[in-house]
Amino acid sequence: MSMNRILTIVLIAGSALYAQRPGRGVNATPPTPAQIAQRETDRLTRFFNLTGGQPATVLEILTNVETQRQALTPQIQTLRTTLTTAIKANNQSQISSTLLQLSNLQEQEEVIRANAAGQIYATVLNPEQQAQVGNGLGPLMGGGAGPGGRGPGGFGPGRGNRN
């Protein structure tokens, strides 16, 4: 991947982060891991028509996901600040090394989300609900069943709103 392409991606992501920073909008307080997990559980409950103890089990799994994910947030925020400084200083070696560190943390987030999706699929959903997933993972990884659903961004408020 060329440095220009990486820089373009970083600038677009930075713009999205700036537009969604706390203090803009009605609710300046970011949601807690429990609130994020509850919102996602509600979405999955509607999609799969979860019944009985299924929603409670999903909520437990997703609360754990969000707690783990938010433990990475301070490191990600620090790296984003470092990246901004490196870009403004045109320090290409620091840009490269910071992006590598940042991508490692983002990979950890994706692993956490994918493991939770697998756990929900294998231990919570019955065969009829599993059939609703189809060939992809959309509903389990934060997306819908068809085109236009969120992709592998997964549970939570989205890739651009991780603070």
Mean pLDDT by 10 residues, the chain (163 residues): 59 55 63 92 94 96 94 94 96 96 94 95 95 85 49 42 38
Closest to 156 in 3D by CA, of 122, 118, 123, 113: 113
The pLDDT value given to residue 137: 83
Q: Give a yes or no: residue 158 inside a domain.
A: no
Spell out the residues 6+ positions from residue 73 whose beta carbon is closer than 8 angstroms to its own.
162, 163
Domain count, the chain: 1
Q: Give a yes or no: residue 87 inside a domain.
A: yes
For the chain, give the percent of residues with pLDDT over 70.
Answer: 70
Q: Which domain holds residue 103?
A: 3-141
The pLDDT value given to residue 159: 39
The pLDDT value given to residue 152: 39
- Asked if residues 36 and 69 have their Cβ atoms less than 8 Å apart, the reply is no
Q: Give a yes or no: residue 28 inside a domain.
A: yes
